[in-house]
Structures are given as C-alpha cells and as structure tokens.
A and B are shown apart, each in its own frame.
Chain A
Amino acid sequence: MKIIGWGIGIFLTFLVSVTSEAAAPQWQIVPSKSTLSFTATQNNAPVTGEFKTFTGEISFDPTQLTTSKVRIVVDMTSVSASYSDLTSTLITADWFNVKSFPEAVFIANKFTKLSDNNYRANGNLTIRDKTVPVTLQFKLAEYSDTKTHVIGTTQLKRLDFGVGQGEWKSTSEIKDEVQVNFDINTTRK
C-alpha cells in the first residue's frame, strides 16, 4: 500500500507539473482597444500607417514564460495610412503585395523577463514570402485574471522582407528601418 501510495503521489505530482506546464492562460485580443502601427522614414520625416485587422492566439503567463506562446496573424489588406495614395501604394506588388501575400504572421516562442514589467520576445515574422527572426520588447502594463494590456515595439528592416521592390530598394528616399508599435488589450478566454 505504501508503495502504491508513493506511486500515486509521484503520479499526481507529475500530473500537476504537466498540467501547470501547459496552463499558461489563453487571451483574446480586443480589436477596439488594440492597435498595430508602423512608422517609416521618408525624406527624413516620419510617416505612419497601421493595420486595422489582426488576430492572435495568445497563451501567456509572466510566471510561466517557458510555456507562453504567441501567434499573431495580420490581415495585410487592412493596411491604412493617413494619405489614401500611400495606402493604395502599399498594397501593390512592389510593397506588401497583398494579393499574393494577404497575411503576415508573427510567432513568438521565447520570452525573457528584462525588468519589472518589461519583457523580450523572440520569434519569427513572416511578411510576403520572407521569414526573419525578430526580437520585440514589450511592457506588461496590466496583467490580471481577466485582462492584460501590452505595449511594445520592435524595429524591422523592410528590405529583409522584400518590402519595396525594384527601384524602391533604394533607401535614400524611404529608409530601410521601420519602427513597429503595438498596444494590445486582451481578455481571458
């Protein structure tokens, strides 16, 4: 009996550790309270746009970073800028080519705590047909049982993804570096 008891004990401990390992809670993005924007540099001045539609499968728990996972899918056709001619240029084949590549995907699989509420996520970002390792920093502005609020940023090089083909490969008018900012609110699934 003692051995069986030990056995059950070990089994339960194992079970608890497995379930807790897999138990990073899942979060649902609140679209009305979430933004994904980018700032490029043209003629030495900033120009900003955003993606209005994006979805995500988010399992995150700051105490279980190893089992946390994030997959964000961006609807590239939802790109929008303050100037309509800019929006219509960005969807063309030379830029995002949204007809052939309607989605961009970011998968983060490694999270590192930097300081109090600040974290780093390593992952892979696919835009067009190019997948490139990307690191982003974010601040966990809010984390409760019911909701989270994350504010973060990363810097990309547009040419790594082939964004800007042909004569647009020139970086003298539009710089290679593009700042991406996100501000995402989620609720517990």
Chain B
Amino acid sequence: MLIRNTSDRYGLLAILLHWTIAVLIIGMLCLGLYMTDLPVSPLKLKLYGLHKAFGVLVLMLALIRIMWSLSNMTPQLSSYLPTWQKLAARSVHFAFYIFMLLMPITGWLMSSAAGFPVSFFGLFTLPDLIAHNEKLRVIFAEIHEFSAFALIAAIVAHVGATVQHYVIYKENVIKRMWP
C-alpha cells in the first residue's frame, strides 16, 4: 500500500484522512443537530465545547488534507462514466473541501461574535476572529446551519453514488478508498 495516490487508487494518507474526517463530520452533524435543541444546561455547554474543539480538529485535518491533495495526483474516475456523472462526482468532491473549511470557520466566527471563544480541548484558546456582535452571530449561525444541511445532502449524494456504482455498474468503488 503506497502512501501517495496513484492514477487508479488513493494512497494510505488520503485514505486515512478521508475516513477520519468522514467519521468526525458525521459525528459533528449528529451532535450539532442534537445539542442545539437542548435546554440551557451544563450538558448543553459541555457538548458545545466538544463540538467546537472537534470542529477545530476537523479544520486542522482539512488543511492537511487540502495540502496533501494538491501535492498528489487525483485517481481517475471510472472511464465508463458519462461526462455529466464525472462532473457531478468532481463537483461533490470539491464541495466537500468547501464544507470542510466553511463549517469550522463559520463556527469559529459565530463563537467569536457570541463572546464564547473556542478552546481546543483545554490545550489552547483560539483568538476571536471578530468582535462581539449579536447580529453577526445570528448571520453566521444561519450560514453554519444552512451549510450543515447542504453538507448532509452532499453526503447523501456521495454515498448514493457508491451504491449506484455497485448496483448499476457492478463496481465496488469503495476499494479505491480502502487500504
């Protein structure tokens, strides 16, 4: 198993980053949807703290992943795919990179605007990106929430596509993303 990508499959580091971030993102979406509806309580506060810390972790991993992706070749999509499906696949992949940056950064911005700075598991505290501002907090919260639902849609499309490959083209594309 190569660390770097080849023209027909992903390398070890890309695979590790893909699945680690996938698990984190799905966990974060579930946590985010659950915690926001809780009444104000120590549990809610604790979950928000964890959500923020894991969000920073996702951001750091996303930055590593983007740099790795740029310095590696991207394996080709199955050649039999119609052009529009190739385009759709690449667009969704690109969208994931946007979400991996947009979600943590809007979260960081809303925390700054709320006056609740982000601590990375108690190890260090992130500086506020903007000053306290209730209006901006609401705006960033809405972008964060809207992006979360768009991200869920992208995940459904991404997973749906692997199922489609398996069912229609009889190809298990997950192999390319598995060590």
User: Which residues on A are within 8 Å of B, measured CB to CB?
Assistant: 42-48, 81-86, 89, 167-168, 170, 172-174
Would you give the 0/1 interface string for B120-137, flagging 1 where the beta carbon is closer than 8 Å to chain A? 011001000000101001
Q: Contact between B117 and A46 (Cβ–Cβ < 8 Å)?
A: yes
Count of chain A to chain B residue pairs whose CB atoms are closer than 8 Å in the complex: 56
Q: Contact between B116 and A83 (Cβ–Cβ < 8 Å)?
A: yes
The reply on B49 being an interface residue by CB < 8 A is: yes
Task: Report B93 CB to chain A, min CB distance, Å.
Answer: 33
- Give the CA-CA distance A174 to B52 in the complex, in Å: 16
Q: Contact between A42 and B116 (Cβ–Cβ < 8 Å)?
A: yes
Q: Contact between A44 and B116 (Cβ–Cβ < 8 Å)?
A: no
* Consensus secondary structure, chain A interface: mixed
Task: Report B158 CB to chain A, min CB distance, Å.
Answer: 32
Would you give the 0/1 interface string for B82-116, flagging 1 where the beta carbon is closer than 8 Å to chain A? 00000000000000000000000000000000111
Q: Contact between A83 and B42 (Cβ–Cβ < 8 Å)?
A: no
Q: Contact between B42 and A170 (Cβ–Cβ < 8 Å)?
A: yes
Given A89-B40, A168-B42, A173-B45, A82:B125 Cβ within 8 A: no
- Give the CA-CA distance A83 to B52 in the complex, in Å: 17
Which residues of the partner chain B approach A42 to less than 8 Å between Cβ atoms? 45, 49, 116
The reply on B118 being an interface residue by CB < 8 A is: yes
CB nearest neighbor in B for A167: B42
Q: Contact between B114 and A43 (Cβ–Cβ < 8 Å)?
A: no
Interface residue tally of chain B, by bracket? Answer: 20 to 34
In chain B, residues 36-74, which have Cβ atoms closer than 8 Å to a Cβ of chain A? 40-42, 45-46, 48-49, 52-53
Q: Contact between B46 and A172 (Cβ–Cβ < 8 Å)?
A: yes
Q: Contact between B40 and A45 (Cβ–Cβ < 8 Å)?
A: no
Contact of A82 among B40, B46, B48, B115 (CB under 8 A): B115
The reply on B119 being an interface residue by CB < 8 A is: yes
Contact of B46 among A85, A89, A173 (CB under 8 A): A173
Task: Report B117 CB to chain A, min CB distance, Å.
Answer: 4
Would you give the 0/1 interface string for B27-40, flagging 1 where the beta carbon is closer than 8 Å to chain A? 00000000000001
Q: Contact between A44 and B119 (Cβ–Cβ < 8 Å)?
A: yes
Q: Contact between A83 and B49 (Cβ–Cβ < 8 Å)?
A: no
A-B contact sample (11 more), CB < 8 A, given A44-B49, A173-B45: A43-B119, A82-B114, A82-B134, A83-B134, A83-B137, A84-B134, A86-B114, A86-B115, A86-B116, A173-B42, A173-B46
